Amino acid sequence: MRNWLAPPRSAPPRPTRSRRHVGVPRFLIRSVGRPRGWRAAGAALAVMGLVGAVLLIGATPPAAAGPVFVTRNGAAFDLGGQPFRFGGTNNYYLHYKSQLMVDDVFNDAAAMGLRVIRAWSSLECGGDKPNSAGGCSQGTDLWTQRWSNSANGPVYNTGPGGLQKLDYMLAKANQFGIKLILPLVNNWRDFGGMDQYVTWYGLPYHDQFYTDARIRQNYKSWVSTLVNRTNSITGVQYRNDPAIFSWELANEPRCINASLPTSGTCTADTLVGWANEMSTYLKGIDSNHLVSVGDEGFFNGNGCGSGSWPCNITDGVDNQRLTALPNVDFGTFHLYPTHWGQSNAWGTTWIQRHNEIGTALGKPMILEEFGITDQGARQSVYNQWLDTLRTGGGDGFNFWILTGIEDGGQLYPDYDGFRVTYPSNDATVLAAQAALMRGGGNDTIAPTQPGTPSASGVTATSATLSWTASTDSGGSGLAGYDVHREQGATDPLLAQPSTNTVVLTGLTPATQYQVYVRARDGAGNLSTPSGLVTFTTQQSTGGSCRVVYSASNWGGANGFTASVTITNTGSSAVNGWTLRFAFTAGQRVTDGWSATWSQPSGSANVSATNLSWNAVIAPGVSVGIGFNGSHTGSNPAPAGFTLNNASCS
DSSP track, 231-257: PTTT--BGGG-TTEEEEES-BS--S--
Same domain for 38 and 116?
A: yes
Examine the pLDDT at 185 and tell me if it is beyond 90. yes
Q: First CA to last CA across the chain, in angstroms?
A: 44
Assign 629 a pLDDT band (cuts: 50, 70, 90): confident
432-441: pLDDT as tens digits? 999 999 875 4
> Cis (ω within 30 of 0) for the bond into 401?
yes
Mean pLDDT is lowest, of 197-206, 216-225, 543-552, for 543-552
- Whether 78 is in a domain gets the answer no
Look at the alpha carbons of 446, 452, 455, 461 in this order and tell me if their dihedral is positive or negative.
positive
User: DSSP code of 612?
Assistant: G
92-114: pLDDT as tens digits? 999 999 999 999 999 999 999 99
The CATH number assigned to the domain holding 630 equals: 2.60.40.290
Same domain for 267 and 213?
A: yes
Mean pLDDT for the chain overall: 84
Name the domain boundary from 410, 437, 464: 437
Same domain for 580 and 627?
A: yes
- Whether 162 is in a domain gets the answer yes
- Whether 20 is in a domain gets the answer no
- 3-class SS of residue 126: strand
Assign 335 a pLDDT band (cuts: 50, 70, 90): very high
Same domain for 607 and 462?
A: no
Same domain for 473 and 582?
A: no
Examine the pLDDT at 562 and tell me if it is beyond 90. no
Report pLDDT for 591: 83
Cα–Cα dist 194/362, whole Å: 31
- Whether 529 is in a domain gets the answer yes
Cα–Cα dist 520/482, whole Å: 7
Same domain for 174 and 201?
A: yes
Average pLDDT over residues 189-198: 94
Name the domain boundary from 500, 520, 540: 540
Average pLDDT over residues 365-380: 95
Cα–Cα dist 142/165, whole Å: 10
Phi, psi for residue 146 in degrees, rounded to 5: -155, 165
Mean pLDDT is lowest, of 38-47, 229-238, 383-392, 434-443, for 38-47
- Number of structural domains, the chain? 3
Examine the pLDDT at 38 and tell me if it is beyond 80. no
Assign 324 a pLDDT band (cuts: 50, 70, 90): very high
**Environment class of residue 86 by beta-carbon count within 10 Å: exposed (0-12), middle (13-18) or buried (19+)?**
buried
Examine the pLDDT at 362 and tell me if it is beyond 50. yes
Active-site annotation, residues: 252, 369
Q: Which has more pLDDT, 595 or 102?
A: 102
- Whether 242 is in a domain gets the answer yes
- Whether 198 is in a domain gets the answer yes
Same domain for 527 and 414?
A: no
241 torsion bin: left (phi>0), alpha (psi -120 to 50), beta (else)? beta
Report pLDDT for 318: 95
The CATH number assigned to the domain holding 502 equals: 2.60.40.10
Report pLDDT for 53: 30
Average pLDDT over residues 216-240: 95
Assign 296 a pLDDT band (cuts: 50, 70, 90): very high
Same domain for 536 and 554?
A: no
Same domain for 428 and 447?
A: no
Percentage of residues of the chain with pLDDT beyond 70: 85
Same domain for 500 and 552?
A: no
Mean pLDDT is lowest, of 15-19, 169-173, 345-349, 645-649, for 15-19
Report pLDDT for 490: 54
Q: Which residues lie closer than 8 Å to 139 by C-beta, 6 or more apart?
A: 33, 34
- 3-class SS of residue 149: coil
Assign 258 a pLDDT band (cuts: 50, 70, 90): confident
Average pLDDT over residues 606-629: 86
Residues 512, 433 contacting (CB under 8 angstroms): no
Least Cα distance to 562 among 522, 540, 594 occurs for 594
Q: Which has more pLDDT, 250 or 311?
A: 250
- 3-class SS of residue 210: helix
Cα–Cα dist 252/371, whole Å: 15
Q: Which residues lie closer than 8 Å to 15 by C-beta, 6 or more apart?
A: 22
| Long-range pairs, 269-274, Cβ under 8 A, ≥24 | 269/613, 270/207, 270/210, 270/211, 270/316, 271/210, 271/295, 271/316, 271/317, 271/318, 271/322, 272/318, 272/321, 272/322, 272/325, 273/210, 274/210, 274/211, 274/216
Examine the pLDDT at 270 and tell me if it is beyond 80. yes
Same domain for 246 and 98?
A: yes
Maximum C-alpha span of the chain: 77
Domain extent for 299: 29-61+86-437
Average pLDDT over residues 316-330: 96
Same domain for 321 and 465?
A: no
- Whether 641 is in a domain gets the answer yes
> Cis (ω within 30 of 0) for the bond into 423?
yes
Report pLDDT for 307: 60
Assign 442 a pLDDT band (cuts: 50, 70, 90): low
Mean pLDDT is lowest, of 124-138, 443-457, 541-555, 607-621, for 541-555
Convert 391-402 into a string of H (helix), E (strand) and C (coil).
HCCCCEEEECCE
Q: Which residues lie closer than 8 Å to 611 by C-beta, 6 or more apart?
A: 594, 595, 596
Average pLDDT over residues 67-80: 87
Assign 12 a pLDDT band (cuts: 50, 70, 90): very low
Query: How many C-beta neighbours within 10 Å does residue 6 have?
Result: 15
- Whether 189 is in a domain gets the answer yes
Average pLDDT over residues 250-274: 95
Report pLDDT for 320: 95
Task: Give the DSSP H or E segment for 345.
Answer: helix 344-361
Examine the pLDDT at 66 and tell me if it is beyond 50. no
Give the highest mean pLDDT range of 25-29, 35-39, 387-391.
387-391
Assign 302 a pLDDT band (cuts: 50, 70, 90): low
Examine the pLDDT at 391 and tell me if it is beyond 60. yes
Name the domain boundary from 496, 519, 540: 540
The CATH number assigned to the domain holding 278 equals: 3.20.20.80
For the entire predicted model, the pTM comes to: 0.64
Q: Which residues lie closer than 8 Å to 206 by C-beta, 6 or more apart?
A: 194, 195, 198, 255, 256, 257, 259, 260, 261, 262
566-590: pLDDT as tens digits? 999 887 888 888 899 999 888 999 8
Q: Provide the b/e sequence for 602-641 (b: ≥16 CB within 10 Å).
A: eeeebbbebeeeeeebeeeeebbbbbbbbbeeebebbebb
40-65: pLDDT as tens digits? 222 222 323 322 333 333 322 222 23
